[in-house]
Structures are given as structure tokens and as C-alpha cells.
Amino acid sequence: MASSDVSYDTEEFERMPIGGHWRTGGSEGTRADTDPYRGGTLVEITLADAADVDEAYQSARAAQREWTQRLPAERAEVLRRAADVLIRRKDQVIDWLIHESGSTRIKAEAEWNATRADFLEAASYPYRVQGQILPADVAGKESRIYRRPLGVVGVISPWNWPLHLSNRSVAPALAVGNGVVLKPASDTPVTGGLLLAKILEEAGLPAGLLNVIIGRGSEVGDPIVEHPIPRLISFTGSTEVGLGIRQKSQIKRTALELGGNGPLVVLGDADLGNAIDAAVFGSFFHQGQLCIRANRVIVDAAVHDEFVERFVDKVRGLRSGDPAEAETVVGPIINRSQLESIQDKISRSRDAGAEILLDGEATGPTGLLLPPHVLLGDNNVPTAAEEVFGPVATVVRAHDEDHALKLANETEHGLSSSVFTRDIERGTRFAQLIDAGMTHINDQPINDQANTAFGGEKESGVGRFGGEWAIEEFTTDHWISVQHTPRQFPM
């Protein structure tokens, strides 16, 4: 059914893995999965319903009981083989990322690398799950703490980095012995879920352990969150939806990475060339459709004018166009609704007094190709006060270092951030005062390490992803005491 040149058998993705079998969903509705740049239909999927969600969770729980008994080496080997499958399927995976999510080839390569790193990092987790022996105040008694998998987890992933942001939860959850039910975003059902399931199936993952639900949020969203089987819901997406998930999840654990409004701060002593390069990348990589992007560029007044002149000149040279072409830096916005949201924020910022230094109309075969925009404004114009999620950079003038810090923290979000200075200790002191889960000194704010903590503060969510934090997220402690000698009781 494909109308573009994606090099994969698209008929494989008309079905989804539920209960150990690839089949169509039980809903009466269908969804056409389309190419945001070219507009063609890639695949049409019959959607899942609430009954499919129940079967998926029941299947994951049944398969998990055997999976958790596998030796660490067996679970690790599946994940290592998945990394090998990803290498063999590299061209196909990158094609799907380009055509389904609108990724430029540069971004698709980066996401492929990140997903492979996810698998390799997770392959070490079965050997890193550790227990404890604790002191006991009772003679002859031993207190043991065993770490074991939660059982089944639900994963809801976004469309912007679909393969990596799904696998960032799926691979660690599987590695430590859980079953998984995954719901990818409606705009990226293949790269966010079905393609990942195929890769793991080819790597030898037992049938029924990973189930993928493709369905409308209105039909399957609440059942995925409220179902009694999952012990944790891992969600990456908007703050509004995340807050709703936390309320509906009742006593389940939640791991939430939500919206961002990341500041990239340029202090007066910064290497401007380095700061400008990082600000361009942090603002416009993947069309700015990243929650950890540089949403605001806050520049000390001492270097503000020079920074703006050089920044605009560099942004003006970015090439927009067909994401399949290697030279393209800025590709299409994911859908019409998202484009209109970006344009609305730009329009309201203009009305609020922002100066637009660089703009342009949306073009391309589907009209979703929005060229880079650069605005000058204060911290209150909509493109600075709100998360834009598009190719828009707002430069904000700071009077001095103290003012820059105040501006950086004037947001309800606290995900990622950056600060540029030639004095590393000054930068470290500044970073420690930023209300964010991550701060990068002399680097762009988009995290590129698979084994690091990843999460936010304030309304940017709760939970950490990567390394020891991922192991802790997807496991639980079980205290078992052993009385080695007979004990005298007081009654």
C-alpha cells in the first residue's frame, strides 16, 4: 500500500503484535499513516480497541513469568542481537524515520545510533540488578533485599523521536525481566512501535512479551493507563497529558518526561563561535521538534548584538527541503495541527512586541515545510514563554549574569538547559542554580548519551531514564528476612 519509496514490506505493518500473534485491531476505525513531506499513504492500519488492550496486558503478564526466569545471559543476548538486527536493517530503519516522522537524514542517523546504544546499554542491565544484605538487631536473623522486575509496564511514546523514545523504556524494561505493552503516537505507529517489535522478534524475543497497541487515544488511552495489570506507566509527551495520566494511574508508579522550555544562556565571556553553533543546532535540529531543545536563547547584553548578527547569518544558511536529501537540515513539521500551533505562537509574539528577524511561509508538497524563524523578544512573548516545538528561536537580552539566571528560571518547566562561559567553575556555579533536570556547560542541550539520567523538574515530569536510574525505575525491592536460629518470643 506504500506510495513512497520506503524500502520495507509495508504490508507487515498493517497488523500489530497482540497476544503473541500479528493481527489487526478490533476497532471499526482505521488510520492512514502518511508521509508528512510527500503526503503519500505509507500503510493503513485497522486500529485496536479496549479489548485488545486487555489481551495485550494478559499476554505480557503470562509471557513475563517465563521471561523473568531466563538467565541474565539469555536476556542480554536478545538485546545484543537486536542491536545487530538494527545494523542489518539500518537503511530500512532510516528510510522509515525519514518518511514517517519527517526526520532529516542527519536526524534519522542520530536516532538510529541512539536506538542501537539503547540496546547495547540495556544488554548490561541483567548483570547490574543488585540486592543487599542489611544488618539485623535480632540474634540469628538475616535481612535480605532482593531486586526483582515490576512485572508488566505500559509505555506511551511520542512522535518526535519515535524509535529511540520508545526503546528508551522498552529495552531496559525487558532487560530486567518485565513484559511490556507499548502504545506509540498515532503519527508514528511504525517507527514508534511496529518496527521495534519486528526488530526484537527477529532478535528472538519470546512471543507475547512485547505487545503493541495502535489506536486512538480516546479509545485505548484510558484502558492502557487504568488497567490493573501494569505496575508502571512510562510516558513521554506533553505536560497536559502527563498530568492526566498521573491522576488516572491511581497507585501505579509513573515515569513521566513532559514538556520543556529550555534556556541556552550565553554569558559575557563565552566563546561566541561555539555558543552560536550550539544554539543553531539546539534550536533547529529536527525542526525544533524536541522537548530538550533550546527554546530560548538568553544572551548577556555585553555580547548580545554581535551574537544576534552572527546567529541570524548562520541560521539564514540552513537548508530546508526534502528530508531524504543529505544536505537538508530542516524538514517538515509532523502535521497540520502542529504547524498551526507554531504559527499561532509566532503571530501572538509579533502582536506582543517581538521583532521578527527571520521568517518565511510554509511550503513543500504538503505545505508543512516551515523555514527557520528568529525572533527578538522578552521572556514573556509566547515563543519564549511557551514551548514552541518548531523551527523557531527567540533571543532574549539579559542585563547581566544574575538577570540571565532569573530569566532562565522564569518558567514552569525544568527539563534541559545550557550555559556558555570560558570559566568552567563559573559555569558550574551557574548550572547548579538552574531549576532543571539537566544542564550542559559549553554544549547544546540535546542529550546524546544512552547511559545518563534523563528527566526533569517542576512541570517537566518525574522519573529518570538511563543507567542505574532505569534499572531502579523498572524494578522493585523485596525484603526477605531469614531467622537462622530459633527465636524466643515475648508471648
In this predicted model, what pLDDT tens digit does every residue of 374-401 receive, in sequence order? Answer: 999 999 999 999 999 999 999 999 999 9
Contact at 8 Å (CB) between 295 and 328? no
Taking each continuous run of H as one helix and of E as one strand, the counts in the chain are 15, 22
| Claim to verify: residue 350 and residue 234 sit in the same structural domain | no
| Claim to verify: residue 247 and residue 270 sit in the same structural domain | no
Q: Which of 300, 248, 292 is nearest to 275 (CA)?
A: 300
Contact at 8 Å (CB) between 403 and 372? no
**pLDDT at site 6:** 46
Classify residue 484: in a domain, yes or no: no
Catalytic residue among 55, 121, 219, 291: 291
- 250 pLDDT above the threshold of 90: no
| Claim to verify: residue 21 and residue 165 sit in the same structural domain | yes
Contact at 8 Å (CB) between 268 and 299? no
Classify residue 2: in a domain, yes or no: no
CA distance 236 to 462: 11
**Residue at 239: amino acid letter:** T
Looking at the structure of the chain, the number of domains it has is: 2
Our answer to whether residue 291 is catalytic in this structure is yes
- 416 pLDDT above the threshold of 80: yes
Taking the CA atoms of 91, 97, 102 and 106 in sequence, report the sign of the dihedral they define.
negative
| Claim to verify: residue 214 and residue 341 sit in the same structural domain | no
Residue bearing the bigger pLDDT, 76 or 449: 76
Task: Tell me the pLDDT band of 104, cut-offs 50, 70 and 90.
Answer: very high
Contact at 8 Å (CB) between 368 and 335? yes
* CATH code of the domain covering residue 76: 3.40.605.10
Which of 104-118, 188-202, 407-421, 451-465 has the least mean pLDDT?
A: 451-465
**pLDDT at site 228:** 96
Catalytic residue among 111, 121, 219, 257: 257
**Residue at 396: amino acid letter:** V
In eight-state DSSP terms, residue 293 is S
CA distance 88 to 433: 45
Question: Rounded mean pLDDT of 177-185?
Answer: 98
Classify residue 150: in a domain, yes or no: yes
- 254 pLDDT above the threshold of 60: yes
**pLDDT at site 452:** 57
| Claim to verify: residue 93 and residue 213 sit in the same structural domain | yes
- 454 pLDDT above the threshold of 70: no
Classify residue 5: in a domain, yes or no: no
Taking the CA atoms of 190, 168, 473 and 246 in sequence, report the sign of the dihedral they define.
negative
Classify residue 314: in a domain, yes or no: yes
Long-range contacts formed by 134-140: CB under 8 A, 24+ apart: 136/481, 138/483, 138/487, 139/485, 139/487, 140/483, 140/484, 140/485, 140/486, 140/487
**pLDDT at site 251:** 83
Question: Rounded mean pLDDT of 174-179?
Answer: 98
* CATH code of the domain covering residue 303: 3.40.309.10
If 0-12 CB within 10 Å is exposed, 13-18 middle and 19+ buried, where does residue 241 land? middle
| Claim to verify: residue 277 and residue 234 sit in the same structural domain | no
Classify residue 283: in a domain, yes or no: yes
Measure the CA angle with vertex 197, ends 196 and 198; round to 5°.
90
**pLDDT at site 479:** 95
| Claim to verify: residue 190 and residue 112 sit in the same structural domain | yes
CA distance 342 to 360: 13
Question: Rounded mean pLDDT of 322-334?
Answer: 97
Query: Over the stretch 11-20, which tens digit does the pLDDT of each residue have?
Result: 789 999 999 9
Task: Tell me the pLDDT band of 4, cut-offs 50, 70 and 90.
Answer: very low
Residue 153 C-alpha cell reads as 509496564
**pLDDT at site 453:** 53
* DSSP-assigned letters across all residues of 392-434: EEEEEEESSHHHHHHHHH-SSEESEEEEE-S-HHHHHHHHHTS
| Claim to verify: residue 335 and residue 252 sit in the same structural domain | no
**pLDDT at site 97:** 98
**pLDDT at site 415:** 86
| Claim to verify: residue 252 and residue 269 sit in the same structural domain | no
Mean pLDDT across the chain: 93
Task: Tell me the pLDDT band of 1, cut-offs 50, 70 and 90.
Answer: very low
Q: From the centroid of its chain, how far is CA 435? A: 20
Residue bearing the bigger pLDDT, 106 or 257: 106
- 3-state SS assignment for residue 298: strand
Query: Over the stretch 219-229, which tens digit does the pLDDT of each residue have?
Result: 999 999 999 99
Contact at 8 Å (CB) between 1 and 14? yes
Residue span of the structural domain in which 349 resides: 262-441
Task: Tell me the pLDDT band of 424, cut-offs 50, 70 and 90.
Answer: very high
List, in sequence order, every residue forming a beta bridge with 211; answer none if it has no partner: 181
- 10 pLDDT above the threshold of 80: no
The C-alpha torsion from 218 through 241 and 183 to 161, rounded to 10°, is 130
CA distance 236 to 154: 12
CA distance 203 to 199: 6
Q: Which of 281, 283, 310, 286 is nearest to 295 (CA)?
A: 283
| Claim to verify: residue 294 and residue 412 sit in the same structural domain | yes
Give the other-Cβ count within 10 Å of 326's Cβ.
8
| Claim to verify: residue 186 and residue 323 sit in the same structural domain | no
Classify residue 216: in a domain, yes or no: yes
| Claim to verify: residue 41 and residue 65 sit in the same structural domain | yes
**pLDDT at site 99:** 97
Classify residue 404: in a domain, yes or no: yes
Query: Over the stretch 28-46, which tens digit does the pLDDT of each residue have?
Result: 999 999 999 999 999 999 9
- 273 pLDDT above the threshold of 80: yes
Our answer to whether residue 472 is catalytic in this structure is no
| Percent of the chain residues topping a pLDDT of 70 | 94
| Percent of the chain residues topping a pLDDT of 90 | 83
